[in-house]
């Protein structure tokens, strides 16, 4: 049986050890895995996420670079910068930190990073694998879905035949996660802001994944029984305190839950760094 609190820490420790070794092997061949984050503007939440990514990247021995551009950047200058990074052989992984500023929103952001360096797994060439049924978590697939599935696997929580309700249909979490869960034989309900009778739906779930972005949204009345598992993707600021989407009372009622902080967040970051090492290995294959 799994613990009530599905903490990322023990799994992150294991994964870091493995990634350090893979990084070391590459360095012994003269290759330093290197990631570049492109940030437009200075959104404080983005700066915090980027710091977390940099920390883990450097902890495993990889190289980190931040390219920051002003919020006023012209679309053509932004595209030129990405073109340069896509062709720079010393850079193995690129992410465009989201959200981008309004002036860039017309660009085809998910497809601007070349598929081989797309460690976010947003490029259509990479999401295609999920769309066509893969369950292979070693591919360059989106980091939050990958991290959630890895965490559930680690705690021995199976998905085959389970009813999973995912709330939120974003490109980063809800869409790819719902497909991946379906590939793993879960029955998936993808709910969103226009869903009617959400409580009735979540009450029948085996697993509820909340990616809403509202503190204490999931209260005990969203739970139907005491055997439910709650996966909290929320990263919210409540009076200066980092909180998830799930209330303390709902956590208490559940069979198990992922904490915030210390749950899905660290799994997302370690999955990104894993994608960086995979991308590097793929690019330097003999
Ligand atoms: N902003 C919030 N989460 C993410 C993420 O996983 N990737 C990128 N590129 N931007 C984000």
Q: Which domains does the chain have, with CATH numbers?
A: 30-114 (3.40.50.10860), 142-265 (3.40.50.720)
**Is 274 within 8 Å of 266 (Cβ atoms)?**
no
Is the model's pTM score more than 0.95?
A: yes
For ligand 1, atom 3, the nearest C-alpha belongs to 98
Is residue 99 reached through a cis peptide bond, with omega within 30 degrees of 0 on the bond before it? Answer: yes
Encode pLDDT of 178-190 as tens digits. 999 999 999 999 9
User: In angstroms, what is the span from residue 143 Cα to ligand 1's centroid?
Assistant: 9
Distance between Cα 98 and ligand 1 center (Å): 5
Mutate to test the pocket of ligand 1, among 37, 95, 143 (most ligand atoms within 8 A of CB): 95
Give the full edge-to-edge strand order of the sheet including 34-40. Answer: 63-69, 34-40, 93-96
CA–CA dist 48, 17 (Å, integer): 24
Alpha carbon nearest to ligand 1 atom 4, residue: 98
User: Helix %, strand %, coil % for the chain, to 5?
Assistant: 45, 15, 40
Among residues 69, 138, 81, the alpha carbon closest in space to that of 113 is found at 81
Name the closest-CA residue to atom 8, ligand 1.
97
Give, for all 286 residues of the chain, the pLDDT tens digit: 899 999 999 999 999 999 999 999 999 999 999 999 999 999 999 999 999 999 999 999 999 999 999 999 999 999 999 999 999 999 999 999 999 999 898 999 999 999 999 999 999 999 999 999 999 999 999 999 999 999 999 999 999 999 999 999 999 999 999 999 999 999 999 999 999 999 999 999 999 999 999 999 999 999 998 899 999 999 999 999 999 999 999 999 999 999 999 999 999 999 999 999 999 999 999 7
CA atoms of 47 and 96, how far apart (whole Å): 12
> Which residue shows structure tokens 């030129």?
80
What's the 156 CA to ligand 1 centre distance in angstroms? 27
Q: Which residues line ligand 1 (CB under 6 A)?
A: 49, 95-98, 120, 143, 172
Active site (catalytic) residues: 53, 97, 120
Residue nearest to atom 1 of ligand 1 (CA): 98
97 C-alpha to ligand 1 centroid (Å): 5
């Amino acid at each position: 049986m799994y613990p009530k609190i599905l903490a990322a820490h023990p799994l992150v420790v294991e994964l870091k050890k493995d990634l350090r070794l893979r990084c070391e092997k590459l360095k012994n061949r003269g290759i330093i895995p290197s990631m570049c984050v492109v940030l437009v503007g200075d959104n404080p939440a983005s700066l915090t996420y980027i710091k977390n990514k940099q920390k883990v990247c450097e902890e495993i021995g990889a190289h980190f670079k931040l390219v920051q551009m002003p919020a006023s950047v012209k679309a053509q200058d932004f595209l030129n910068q990405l073109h340069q990074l896509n062709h720079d052989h010393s850079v193995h992984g690129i992410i465009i930190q989201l959200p981008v500023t309004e002036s860039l929103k017309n660009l085809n952001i998910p497809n601007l990073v070349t598929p081989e360096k797309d460690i976010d797994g947003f490029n259509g060439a990479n999401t295609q694998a999920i769309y066509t049924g893969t369950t292979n978590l070693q591919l360059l697939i989106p980091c939050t879905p990958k991290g959630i599935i890895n965490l559930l696997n680690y705690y021995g929580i199976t998905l085959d035949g389970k009813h999973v309700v995912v709330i939120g249909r974003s490109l980063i979490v809800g869409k790819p996660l719902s497909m991946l869960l379906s590939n793993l034989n879960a029955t998936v309900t993808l709910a969103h802001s226009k869903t009617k009778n959400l409580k009735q739906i979540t009450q029948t779930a085996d697993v509820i994944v909340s990616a809403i972005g509202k503190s204490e949204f999931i209260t005990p009345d969203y739970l139907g029984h005491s055997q439910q598992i709650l996966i909290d993707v929320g990263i919210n600021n409540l009076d200066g305190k980092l909180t998830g989407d799930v209330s303390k009372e709902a956590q208490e009622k559940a069979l198990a839950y992922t904490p915030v902080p210390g749950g899905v967040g660290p799994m997302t970051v370690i999955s990104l760094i894993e994608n960086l090492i995979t991308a590097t290995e793929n690019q330097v294959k003999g």
